[in-house]
Structure 1
Amino acid sequence: MSVVVAPQQPVAQRTRAPLYLLIPATLVAVAMLIPLFYLFLRAFQAEPAQLADILWRQRNLDLLWNTLKLTGGVLILTTLMALPTAWLVTRTDIRFKKLITLLAVIPLAVPGYVMAYALMGLGGYYGVFAQLFGWQLPRISGYWGALMALSFYTFSYLFLNLRAALLGLDPNLEESAQSLGYGPWATFRHVLLPHLLPALMAGWLVIGLYVMGDFGAVALMRYEAFSYAIFNQYENSFDRFYAAWLSLMLLALAASFVMMETLIKRKRLASLGSSAPRQQRQSRLGWLHLPAWLYLSAVFLSSIGLPVMILAYWLILAPPDLSFFLQVPATFLRSATVAIPAALLTSLMAIPVAYLLVRYPSRWSSLIERSTYIGYALPPITLALAMVYFALNTAYFLYQTLAMLVFALALATLALAMGPIRSHLLQTRVNLEEAAFSLGYSPLATFYHVIFPRLRRSLLASATLVFLFCMKELPITMLLSPTNYTTLAVTVYTRTSEGMMAEAAPFAAAILLFSTLSVGLVLNREKA
C-alpha cells in the first residue's frame, strides 16, 4: 500500500511574520504616508471662503492646460524619436545596432536642466550661433524650449520599453498577418501596435510623471506649468495654502495617469500557441539606409551632440580658472555627502519590506509594498513641499537640515531600491534558510549569515540607482537643503537662471561626465 505525502510548505511561509521584521516594515510604510498626510493637513487648514477662492481661480485652469499641453507634446515627440529607433534596431538589417542602442540610452545621463542649459546656449548675443556664424538667434524659452529639453532627455525611457517589447514579440503574428494579405502599414496598425500598447503606456507613464513633476527645465525656460508655479508660490508668497492646493492638483493629475496605465495592463496579449520562439526575420532597408541614418543622426545630435557641443563651446570660450578647479570637486563632494547617506538609508529601508513581501506574503505585506511607490509617484516638488510642512509643524529641529534632505530623498527613491532586492530574494531558495534553522541558527543569525551575503550585489545595485538619482535631483534639494548648501544640480540651475552660462559650464560638465560613466556601468550589466 502506498502512502501519498502532501508536499510541505516552506517553514518561512507557514509561520506568521516575526515582529522584528513586521515592525520596521510597518514603520517604513508609515514614513511613506507622511508627505501625503501633511500635504492634505496643510491644504485643509484654509478657511472655507479662502478655499473657494483658491479652487475657482482661472489660473488653475491655465496651469492645468499648460501642464497637459507640455506633457502631451513631450509624449508625441518622444514617440516620434523612440519608436522608429527601436524598430530600426530590432526589425531591420541596419548596421551597428549595439552602438545605436548605446547612443539611444546615453541621453539618460543628461538631466533636463542641463538640456535646457544647452538649448539656451544656442541663442542670444553670446550664443553659439552669434559667436561662430554672426547669427543672433532669439534665445529658446517658453513652451517650445521646455518641450525640446524634456523630450531630448526622456525619449530613452520609451525606447527601452519599445525595444524590449519588439524583441519579445512572436514573429508568427506578423507573418500570419502578411499571409492573410495585410500590407506593412496594415500589419503595423492591426498587429504590432496593439501588442506594443502596454510598452507604450509604461513608457508614457514614466515620461508623463517626470514631465508633470519636472522643475529644472520648465523653470529655466520660464514656462508656467504646475511645478514652476508651486515653487514660485512657495518662495515668493505668504499664501502657502495655495501652494499646497496646487500640489494636490498636480498629485491628482499624476494619479490619473497611473490609473489610465493600469487599465491597459489588464489586457492579455501573450501568445497561446506552444511553438518554440523563432528569431525575427530582419527587413532589408535597401535605399532606405540613407534616410534611416539621417534620421538617427538628427536624433542623436539633438539629444547628445547638442549638450556636448554647448558645454565644449563655453569651456573653450571661457576656460575655468584655478578657483573653478577647486569649486567643482568641493561642490561634487557636497552632492555626494547627501547622495551616499540617502542611498544607504534607502537600501536599509527596502530590506525588511522586500523580505516581508517575498517570505511572508499577505495582504498586509502587499499594502506595505505598495506604499513604497507613494514617494516615487509624488512629483518631487510636491514631496519637497509636504516635507517642509512636516518639519515646520512637527519636527522643526529638522527644518533645512541634511537629515531632512536625506530622509526626503529616501522616500522619493525607495521604489527604485526595492526592485533589485526583491528580485534577488525571489531567486534565493527557501531551503537554505530551513537548513540554517535546523542547525540551530536564530532567524536574525540566518538572515545575517545566509541571506545578507547573497543580497550584496542587489544592495549595491539599489544603492547605485538611488545615488545616481540623488546626484541629479533638483527641486527636493533646493527646498530642503540647508541655507547656502549648494550641490552640482543647484549650482547649474542658479547660475544658468542668472544668465551666467560660462560659470555654469564646469558644473554641468561634471554632472554630464559623472552621469555618463554611471549609465555606462549600468549598461555594462546588460547583454545587448
Structure 2
Amino acid sequence: MSAPFATYIYRAWGQRPPFYILIPSVVIAFAMVVPLFYLGLRAFQADPAMLRELVFRPRNLELLSNTLKLTLGVLLVTTLMALPTAWLVTRTDIRYKKAITLLSVVPLAVPGYVMAYALLGLGGHYGIFAQLFDWQLPRVSGYSGAVFALAFYTFPYLFLNLRAALLGLDRSLEESAQSLGYSPTQIFFKVLLPHLAPALMAGWLVIGLYVMGDFGAVALMRYDAFSYAIFTQYSGAFDRVYAAWLSLMLLALAGSFVLMETLVKRKRLASVGSGIARSKAASKLGWKVIPAWVYLAIVFLCSSGLPLMILAYWLILAPPDLSFFLAVPATFLRSAMAAFPAAILAAGFALPVAYLLVRYPSRISTAIERSTYIGYALPPLTLALAMVFFSLNTAFFLYQTLALLIITWALASLALAMGPIRSALLQTRSNLEEASFSLGHGPITTFWQVVFPRLNRGILAAITLVFLFCMKELPITFLLAPTGYTTLAVTVFSRTSEGLMAEAAPFAAAIVIFSSLSVGMVLNRESKK
C-alpha cells in the first residue's frame, strides 16, 4: 500500500476497525452492489444494432408513459385522501382523533394485491353487487383499478408524514401571515404548503417507489406498466436482454424520484429567530363537521371497509371446507420456513455494518451503511431479475432454489433490519466495552457477554420487521421461488388471476390478519415514544 493511499485510508477511518468487523461489512456492501453489476452485464450483452433497437423501441415510450401516469394518478389520489385527513386530526376540534389515526394506518395491513382482489370482487357477474342486489357493476380493471388498488393501500405512508409535519409546525407562522391580512386560502398556499413540501416529497417518494416496483396489483388489473412488462418478457417471451433493459429503465425512473426528493430537502425551512415553537390551536369545525365525517367515512370505507367486506362476503358465501383449514396453515408454515431464515440472515448482515457505523464512524463506514439501502430502493422485480442473472452466470447451483429466494429477501430487507439494531447500539455505552477490556477480556468475549445482551431487543425487532416483510412479499417470490413452491402471497395472486375469488379468500384473510401485527407494532412503538 502506497504511503499517500494509506494516509487517506487512516484519515477516512479515524480509528481503524478490527478485521472481524471490517471484512464482513465490506463483503455485505459488495453483495449489495453485485445485482446492479450483473443487471448491467446482462443488458450490454446485446450487439450495437440490437442495443439501438431495444433502447429506442416505441413500446418503451408507451411503458414509460403508462408507468408515469400510474404513479402520478396514485400520488394524486393518496394526496386527496391523506392531506385532509391529517389536517382534520391535527388542526381541528373533530372528536375521536386517536380512532381516526388508527383507521388511517390500518390499510397498511392490506397489501396492494389483496386490495386489487377486493376491487375485482365488486363487479362482474359473480361480484358482490350482482349476487346481493342483482346489479352488475362493470369490473374495475386497467388503469383506474391499478390506481385505486395502490392508492387505498399506500395513502397511510403520506398521512403519517403529513401528520408529523403538521404537529411540528410553529403556530406563529400562520398568526404572522394572518396579521398581515392574508386569507385562509393564501395562508395555506403561501405558508403551510411550502413547509409541508418536505413531508409531501418524503411520502410521495415512498409511494412512488412502491408503485413503480409493484407487480401484484398491476398484473391483476392487467395494466401494462414497466413491472408487468418485465415479468412478461422474462417468463413469457424469454427475452431476458430486453427484460434487463426494461429493469434498467425502471431503475433510472426510480432514481429520478430519489434525486428530486433530495433537491427539495436542501431547502431550509426552519425558523432562524429566537423563541419557542407553539402548536396551532384547534379550529372549530361547526357545521362543517358533518361533511368532514362523510369524507372520513368514504376514505375508511374504501381503504379498510372494502377489503374486509369482500373477504367476509366470499368467506360466508363459500365457507372453506376442511381441506382449506389444512391448506392455509400449511401454506403459512411454508412461507414462514423461508421468511424466518431470511429474517435471521438480514439481522446477521445488519449487525456488523451497524457496529462499524456506530463504533467506528467515518466516511467509509457511512458509505458501507448507505449501500445497505440499495436492495430496498431497487424495484423488487429488478432486484429479482438481477439475482437470476447472477445465479445463471456465477452461481448456477443457486438457480431455482429456496436459498436464492432467502438471500434475495435478506438483501431487499436489509435496510429494515439496520434501523432497530443501530438504535440499540447507539443506546449501548462504549465505556462498558472499555471496562471489559480493562478487566482482560478479549474483543470477542466482550461482544458476546457485554454488547450482544443489550442488543437483544433491537435484533428481535429487526427479525420481526423482516419476517413480516417476507411473509407479504410477492414480486421477488413470484420470480425466484422454486417450481411448485407457493407462499400465501403467491397463492392469493395465482387464484385471483384465475378468477377463483372464493378459493383465494381464506389465504387473503390470513395475510390481512398476519399483517395486522406489523400495524400493531408501528402503533405500539409510536405510543411508547
* TM-score, normalisation: structure 2: 0.96
Match for residue 266 of structure 2? 266
Change in CA separation of 1:157 and 1:447 when aligned onto 2, cut-off 3 Å:
same
**1:124-203 paired onto structure 2 within 5 Å:** 124-203=124-203
Partner SS state of residue 525, structure 1: helix
Query: In 2, Cα distance between the equivalents of 1:190 and 1:52?
Result: 47
Match for residue 494 of structure 1? 494
1:370 counterpart letter in structure 2: R
Match for residue 219 of structure 1? 219
Larger displacement relative to structure 2 (510-519 or 303-312): 510-519
| Residue 330 of structure 1 pairs with residue 354 of structure 2 | no
Could you report, residue by residue, the CA deviation over 1:407-444 in whole angstroms, capped at 9, with x for unpaired residues?
A: 00011011111112222222322222222222222222
**1:252-401 paired onto structure 2 within 5 Å:** 252-401=252-401
Partner SS state of residue 525, structure 2: coil
Match for residue 114 of structure 1? 114
Question: Offset of 1:257 from its aligned partner?
Answer: 0.5
Query: In 2, Cα distance between the equivalents of 1:300 and 1:362?
Result: 46
Match for residue 208 of structure 1? 208
* Unaligned runs of at least 5 residues, structure 1: 1-12
Question: Offset of 1:179 from its aligned partner?
Answer: 1.6
| Residue 458 of structure 1 pairs with residue 458 of structure 2 | yes
Could you report, residue by residue, the CA deviation over 1:342-367 in whole angstroms, capped at 9, with x for unpaired residues?
A: 11110110011111111111121111
Question: Offset of 1:129 from its aligned partner?
Answer: 0.7
1:250 counterpart letter in structure 2: L
Query: In 1, Cα distance between the equivalents of 2:474 and 2:459?
Result: 25
Query: In 1, Cα distance between the equivalents of 2:249 and 2:464?
Result: 32
| Residue 449 of structure 1 pairs with residue 449 of structure 2 | yes
Partner SS state of residue 173, structure 2: helix
Could you report, residue by residue, the CA deviation over 1:262-283 in whole angstroms, capped at 9, with x for unpaired residues?
A: 1111122122233233343111
| Residue 478 of structure 1 pairs with residue 478 of structure 2 | yes
Question: Offset of 1:181 from its aligned partner?
Answer: 1.5
Partner SS state of residue 189, structure 2: helix
Question: Offset of 1:29 from its aligned partner?
Answer: 0.3
Partner SS state of residue 437, structure 1: helix
Could you report, residue by residue, the CA deviation over 1:323-345 in whole angstroms, capped at 9, with x for unpaired residues?
A: 00000000000111111111111
Query: In 1, Cα distance between the equivalents of 2:172 and 2:439?
Result: 53
Query: In 1, Cα distance between the equivalents of 2:230 and 2:478?
Result: 13
Could you report, residue by residue, the CA deviation over 1:55-100 in whole angstroms, capped at 9, with x for unpaired residues?
A: 1111000000000000000001100000000011111111100100
1:63 counterpart letter in structure 2: L
The answer on whether the counterparts of 2:14 and 2:362 sit within 8 Å (CA) in structure 1 is no
Change in CA separation of 1:273 and 1:444 when aligned onto 2, cut-off 3 Å:
farther
Could you report, residue by residue, the CA deviation over 1:302-326 in whole angstroms, capped at 9, with x for unpaired residues?
A: 0000000000111111111100000
Could you report, residue by residue, the CA deviation over 1:214-233 in whole angstroms, capped at 9, with x for unpaired residues?
A: 00000000000000000000
The answer on whether the counterparts of 2:465 and 2:518 sit within 8 Å (CA) in structure 1 is no
Partner SS state of residue 314, structure 2: helix
Question: Offset of 1:370 from its aligned partner?
Answer: 1.2
Query: In 2, Cα distance between the equivalents of 1:279 and 1:158?
Result: 21
Query: In 1, Cα distance between the equivalents of 2:100 and 2:206?
Result: 22
Query: In 2, Cα distance between the equivalents of 1:88 and 1:442?
Result: 57
Query: In 1, Cα distance between the equivalents of 2:459 and 2:178?
Result: 47
Query: In 1, Cα distance between the equivalents of 2:379 and 2:266?
Result: 25
Could you report, residue by residue, the CA deviation over 1:281-300 in whole angstroms, capped at 9, with x for unpaired residues?
A: 11111111101100000000
Could you report, residue by residue, the CA deviation over 1:86-140 in whole angstroms, capped at 9, with x for unpaired residues?
A: 0111111111001000000010010000000000000010100101111111111
Larger displacement relative to structure 2 (176-185 or 233-242): 176-185
1:112 counterpart letter in structure 2: G
Match for residue 64 of structure 1? 64
Query: In 1, Cα distance between the equivalents of 2:425 and 2:200?
Result: 29
Partner SS state of residue 413, structure 2: helix
Question: Offset of 1:517 from its aligned partner?
Answer: 3.0
1:246 counterpart letter in structure 2: L
Q: Which runs of 4+ in 1 moved over 6 A?
A: none
Query: In 2, Cα distance between the equivalents of 1:46 and 1:218?
Result: 29
Question: Offset of 1:400 from its aligned partner?
Answer: 1.2
Question: Offset of 1:462 from its aligned partner?
Answer: 1.2
Match for residue 414 of structure 2? 414
* TM-score, normalisation: structure 1: 0.96
Could you report, residue by residue, the CA deviation over 1:228-261 in whole angstroms, capped at 9, with x for unpaired residues?
A: 0000000011321000000000000000100111
Query: In 1, Cα distance between the equivalents of 2:428 and 2:202?
Result: 28
Change in CA separation of 1:440 and 1:14 when aligned onto 2, cut-off 3 Å:
farther
Query: In 2, Cα distance between the equivalents of 1:224 and 1:460?
Result: 40
1:316 counterpart letter in structure 2: I
Query: In 1, Cα distance between the equivalents of 2:193 and 2:425?
Result: 35
Partner SS state of residue 524, structure 1: helix
Match for residue 80 of structure 1? 80
Query: In 1, Cα distance between the equivalents of 2:286 and 2:129?
Result: 36
Q: CA RMSD in A?
A: 1.2
Query: In 1, Cα distance between the equivalents of 2:476 and 2:517?
Result: 24
Partner SS state of residue 271, structure 1: coil
Could you report, residue by residue, the CA deviation over 1:159-199 in whole angstroms, capped at 9, with x for unpaired residues?
A: 01011111111111111211221221111111111111001
Match for residue 6 of structure 1? none
The answer on whether the counterparts of 2:169 and 2:277 sit within 8 Å (CA) in structure 1 is no
The answer on whether the counterparts of 2:195 and 2:269 sit within 8 Å (CA) in structure 1 is yes
Partner SS state of residue 270, structure 2: coil
Larger displacement relative to structure 2 (420-429 or 395-404): 420-429
The alignment-based identity, stated in percent, is 75
* Unaligned runs of at least 5 residues, structure 2: 1-12
Partner SS state of residue 526, structure 2: coil
Match for residue 426 of structure 2? 426
Query: In 2, Cα distance between the equivalents of 1:157 and 1:285?
Result: 26
Partner SS state of residue 455, structure 1: helix
The answer on whether the counterparts of 2:216 and 2:474 sit within 8 Å (CA) in structure 1 is yes
The answer on whether the counterparts of 2:169 and 2:279 sit within 8 Å (CA) in structure 1 is no
Larger displacement relative to structure 2 (33-42 or 212-221): 33-42
Query: In 1, Cα distance between the equivalents of 2:50 and 2:182?
Result: 61
The answer on whether the counterparts of 2:168 and 2:279 sit within 8 Å (CA) in structure 1 is no
Change in CA separation of 1:419 and 1:434 when aligned onto 2, cut-off 3 Å:
same
The answer on whether the counterparts of 2:120 and 2:140 sit within 8 Å (CA) in structure 1 is yes
Question: Offset of 1:14 from its aligned partner?
Answer: 6.1
Match for residue 438 of structure 2? 438
